[in-house]
Structure 1
Amino acid sequence: MVSAWRTFRSLPSWIIPLVLAVVILLLPVMGLDLSTSRQIQLACILALVVSGLNLSLGFAGELALGQAAMYAAGAYTAGLMSQAGHTDILVQLAAAGAVALGVGILTGVPGLRLGNWSLAMTSFFLVLLVPDVLAIFGGKTGGRNGLTGMEPPTLFGSELDTQQYYMVVVVVTVLWFAVMRNLVVSRHGIAFRTLKQSPVLASSQGVSVFRMKLLGYAIGAFPAGLAGALFANTDLFISPEAFGFTFATAVLAASILGGAASVYGAVVGAAIMQLGPNQSTAFQEYSLIFYGGFLIIGGVLLSGGLTKVGRAIVSKLDRRAGLGVVTAKENSGGTPELAPINGARLVVDGVSKAFGGNQALNAATLTAEAGKVTALIGPNGSGKTTMLNMICGFYTADAGVITIGDTVVSQSSPHKVARVGVARTFQTPTIPENITVLEAVASGRYSVHRASMASAVLRLPSFRRIAKADIVEAERVLELVGMSHLRNEIATSLPLGMRRMLEVARAVIAEPRVVLFDEVASGLDEDELERLADLIRVLRDAGATVVLVEHNFRLVLSLADEIVVLAQGQVIATGDAATIEHHPRVLSEYLGVKSGDEDALLEEIGAVDHQTSEVK
């Protein structure tokens, strides 16, 4: 049994979906009756619509319910084309997908500009407006009576019979899910997950938040358009009631029940909804109530949907078979190495920032040179993280200028600052859910070595080269931080110290010119602290500009070439370790030391004179 499971798990992940697709495609040849054939077609059509919602909601985190409207747009596009004599199903699919994509972009731009809840309301009202819009253009659409007079679909000039049309529906569905699978498992899929987890993290990795959100919503509209064209040609009649609020609720219920953050969860949810209770007359009469029940069950009892339950079962069987068991790896003791880095001089010149009546920074100045570690210290609330956020573009300066090399970034958006070569860690490690350690680290290369979504979907040679390089670099950096043995573990399952080191690895892999460490040593044990210190020295020696915000005074004194001290938003001291560790005001403001207690405190924290605390 164990050996059989190991053989099964050694198969590529796409083998089983492909085999099932081939079986479903060949069912008519095996004697499938017309009634069941129709239900499978409708399940495929529903799965296409649900997959679009999964992409925009489950992966990109966009709360949008407009798939029913895109579905209607695709259906009426195909229906009107059929009336006009354009019956080729491929042409109709292309046109319906394009129209749905256009509707997604037009409705997504204003909603996303105003925020997630605005997008949810925009898409919700779009669904409610569908019957009224169709009634307004009743002369073309048939209004509330529905669209009739459609011609049977053709393919390359030949009319499709019932069996041939069934195959078209299944093939279109399979091809779309292959596209979606390729997109989701690529670096773009990780970018979508990162966006869902934290737009701040996504932008710090060079992802344009608005553009990525719009792409997720618009691409999610495309399969709904395809589904609409297929639906229109199923019965050659379209009724406005098919695209109302009840259908939108059914799509949401299928997504939640199958698993919104899953490629094939859309198939599972759609199959259950279409082939199960939907066959009951009583269900049809009280469908909205039942859909609400499914949403409650899926949201409360099945968090993550049935696919999450399936993953848990697979993980349990893996453990029984001894697959994926993590064993501790001894540190080789070697010194990690990095290729030369073209560091950039960072200058924060007279920067001020106020939040209401709170002056977070007041004419603060900092200069960090390439190939050096510049520490930024100060008591809580002194403005350290505010300065890092301003360097990264999350806040706009009220006054002053920030430059990186020859580039002024004071007014730049966060993703543009990241593309200049700035990488950072955060006080609280932020890692997307359901990705491995290797994938989490590789995501740091998103903006450094770019690959288009088209190349990812089609698996072009350019994408394969970059994907292979992502893995190679991620494994190399994981070796640097001593975490290579955890490469296949789910990143969010790691303890705090390892998640902090993972963030460091994610920053290092971006080949940054400037690295900002925000209290990265918090929660690390002695071994991890030693590894972190070694890595910071390696970054410095490679030529990177390192800015270290840290409360561990001993670590600061051992690493920093230059120390800048903030208090109440102002720089109160600047100098090397020897100067700062004996500076009276620093000891008073930062460490709360009274005059005369300096020697006892320095002995307690292990500080020594400048010669021994100097970075080697």
Structure 2
Amino acid sequence: MTFMVAVLAAIALGIITGVPGLRLASWSLGMVTFFMVLLVPDIVQLLSPFTGGSAGLAGIPPPSLFGHDFDTESLYILVIAVTIVVIALLRNYIVSRHGTALKVIKQSPDLARSLGYSVPRMKLTAYVISAFPAGAAGCLFAYDHSVVTPESFSFSLTVAILAASIIGGSSSIYGAVFGATVMVIGPLRAGVFQEFALVFFGLLLVVGGLFLTNGAANLLDKAFRRIFVKNDLMPDVREALQNPKTLPQLTGCRLRVSGLNKNFNGNQALKNVHFVAEPGQIIALIGPNGSGKTTLLNAISGFVRPDSGEIRVGDSPLTRLSAHHIARRGVARTFQTPLIPRGLTVAEVVASARYRSEATSVISGMLTLPDTRGAIRRDRDTAISLLSVMGVVELADVLADDLPLGTRRIVEVARALASSPSLLLLDEPASGLDEVEVHVLADVVRRLRDAGATIVIVEHNFEMITSVADRIDVLHLGHVIASGSANQVRNNPAVIESYLGRAARQRAENDRGSDRSWNPR
């Protein structure tokens, strides 16, 4: 009973400390925990009738289970058993779909929202899960020492735990065990260590944070892959290479944008924007830098809330919805810079888009129940199928962040398709690609259109746009100044002037009778 109370109390504290940390990340998030450690001694003093004040609580009796009292030996066995169970549960959680989702959030909360993740909810869930082993450890510590004082959990201990995380690597449960082992055994080997412990831990945090990326676990993982993991393809990858998949029919929905306006501190980014995109159609948005193209995509996908106007996909109004709710209604997008989480294979990156499409519980993930195993299998099948369609299936088990830019953009498109979207938004997908990669990407986009997708693409590469777009809308200073085919847009005086100025417009009019081509880029 005491054990359960301790765990529940830790979970409650995890929720309390987690709420202010929902908008924080990285080191800022860690500081929330530090502040709590600094507050505990004062709270203990304020509640001294219950906590014993600075003297703490002494004479804690040994634990008992069903009337059986634990002696020293059986208590150590209990500690080892609880440790093994906790490590096994957390290991399953890290390698599950939930662990992959947390890596996505760590890489970019915006990416997570574009895939339909509720970032605050998942962060709070992670706080609660991390509080469970903390409460269990605190309870077992009290039983082992028979006394608990404020000095038992000092600031130095918190820094030591953080140092252990940096040494071992916070992205691996085995790295955490390794780091904790080093930080426990190391001080015991040197009697004078305690005097300089805080200085040593501080130096370790600085050096490790600068030079030891993801800790010893990352180094061991790279060595393991180099020595033991060969270039042999998995059976499902070999099968996909022998029998390439075809793109399934996509169910696009009509996108209608009406009277959209957005003002940023006096800068009118969007002015009464209207346009429609139909299924099986590619609508290209072009315009000079600052014309409002990305703002329009952000408004459609929920990252920017318009001041007025209406956005509809099919029969669903999206104007006032948040980004992750819009993603769950079938809107998928890519970004100007490909957002690829570190430490995930290409197949895992693509499968991460299915996290909300087929939800499984955290408990199921920790226990690897049949529904979780089935979801993981279907995630893999979908990823392999889409990578086969994109022509990069042989890279399924390669770390995605090691890929060149062009391949990462193809992987991003595959990830967007994994959620079976009704609307696909592509934000400058050809940026940074060479000519060959642009042709490959253009072929992919055309095949998506032919399969029935509704596609809106923002791009500066006019040659690519003219090869794929069914209609081009030109934005300038936040409003649409021209709409039509490539030839209509190319020869539109307002478009020429917005791109190249009034003098260029005069030259274009003089040359209109010639065969000279015009590229607004």
TM-score, with structure 2 as normaliser: 0.92
Task: Tell me the equivalent position of 1:199.
Answer: 109
User: Which one-letter code corresponds to 2:179 in the other structure?
Assistant: G
Change in 2 beyond 3 A, CA 1:333/1:282: closer
Change in 2 beyond 3 A, CA 1:307/1:156: same
Task: Tell me the equivalent position of 1:50.
Answer: none
Task: Tell me the equivalent position of 1:505.
Answer: 414
Change in 2 beyond 3 A, CA 1:602/1:102: farther
User: Aligned partners of 1:497 and 1:132: how far apart in 2?
Assistant: 55
What is the CA-CA distance between 1:94 and the residue it aligns to? 2.4
User: Which one-letter code corresponds to 1:194 in the other structure?
Assistant: V
Change in 2 beyond 3 A, CA 1:260/1:349: same
**Does 1:490 find its partner at 2:380?**
no
Out of 130-139 and 201-210, give the one that drifted further. Answer: 130-139
1:253 to 148, 163, 166: 163
2:366 to 431, 446, 457: 457
2:286 to 377, 380, 397: 377
Task: Tell me the equivalent position of 1:277.
Answer: 187
CA contact (8 A) 1:481 1:532 kept: no
Change in 2 beyond 3 A, CA 1:559/1:239: same
**Does 1:181 find its partner at 2:95?**
no
Change in 2 beyond 3 A, CA 1:469/1:333: closer
User: Aligned partners of 1:198 and 1:347: how far apart in 2?
Assistant: 29
Change in 2 beyond 3 A, CA 1:297/1:377: closer
User: Aligned partners of 1:159 and 1:266: how far apart in 2?
Assistant: 32
1:101 to 1, 11, 27: 11
1:585 to 477, 494, 500: 494
SS at match of 1:111: coil
User: Aligned partners of 1:461 and 1:350: how far apart in 2?
Assistant: 49
CA contact (8 A) 1:337 1:538 kept: no
User: Which one-letter code corresponds to 2:509 in the other structure?
Assistant: S
1:435 to 344, 349, 356: 344
Q: Write out aligned runs for 1:370-449 (5 A).
A: 370-449=279-358
Cα RMSD (Å): 2.6
Change in 2 beyond 3 A, CA 1:300/1:378: closer
Task: Tell me the equivalent position of 1:354.
Answer: 263
User: Aligned partners of 2:3 and 2:119: how far apart in 1?
Assistant: 30
TM-score, with structure 1 as normaliser: 0.78
Task: Tell me the equivalent position of 1:549.
Answer: 458
Task: Tell me the equivalent position of 2:136.
Answer: 226
User: Aligned partners of 1:286 and 1:230: how far apart in 2?
Assistant: 28
**Does 1:597 find its partner at 2:507?**
no
Task: Tell me the equivalent position of 2:2.
Answer: 92
Change in 2 beyond 3 A, CA 1:430/1:403: same
Task: Tell me the equivalent position of 2:127.
Answer: 217
Change in 2 beyond 3 A, CA 1:254/1:234: same
CA contact (8 A) 1:537 1:559 kept: yes
User: Which one-letter code corresponds to 1:445 in the other structure?
Assistant: R
SS at match of 1:191: helix
SS at match of 1:286: helix
Residues 553-572 of structure 1: per-residue CA shift (max 9 Å, x gap): 22222222222111111101
Task: Tell me the equivalent position of 1:163.
Answer: 73
Change in 2 beyond 3 A, CA 1:189/1:389: same
Change in 2 beyond 3 A, CA 1:223/1:333: closer
User: Aligned partners of 1:390 and 1:231: how far apart in 2?
Assistant: 52
User: Aligned partners of 1:402 and 1:295: how far apart in 2?
Assistant: 48
What is the CA-CA distance between 1:299 and the residue it aligns to? 2.1
User: Aligned partners of 2:510 and 2:370: how far apart in 1?
Assistant: 68
What is the CA-CA distance between 1:261 and the residue it aligns to? 1.8
Aligned pairs, number: 512
What is the CA-CA distance between 1:134 and the residue it aligns to? 1.3
CA contact (8 A) 2:168 2:216 kept: yes
User: Aligned partners of 1:262 and 1:432: how far apart in 2?
Assistant: 15
User: Aligned partners of 2:432 and 2:20: how far apart in 1?
Assistant: 42
**Does 1:290 find its partner at 2:200?**
yes
User: Which one-letter code corresponds to 1:184 in the other structure?
Assistant: I
What is the CA-CA distance between 1:533 and the residue it aligns to? 2.6
Task: Tell me the equivalent position of 1:314.
Answer: 224
User: Which one-letter code corresponds to 1:200 in the other structure?
Assistant: D
SS at match of 1:451: coil
Change in 2 beyond 3 A, CA 1:333/1:536: farther
User: Which one-letter code corresponds to 1:373 in the other structure?
Assistant: I
CA contact (8 A) 1:345 1:369 kept: yes
Identical amino acids, percent of aligned pairs: 47
User: Which one-letter code corresponds to 1:510 in the other structure?
Assistant: S
SS at match of 1:206: coil
Task: Tell me the equivalent position of 2:481.
Answer: 572
CA contact (8 A) 1:318 1:324 kept: no
SS at match of 1:349: strand
User: Aligned partners of 1:310 and 1:324: how far apart in 2?
Assistant: 22
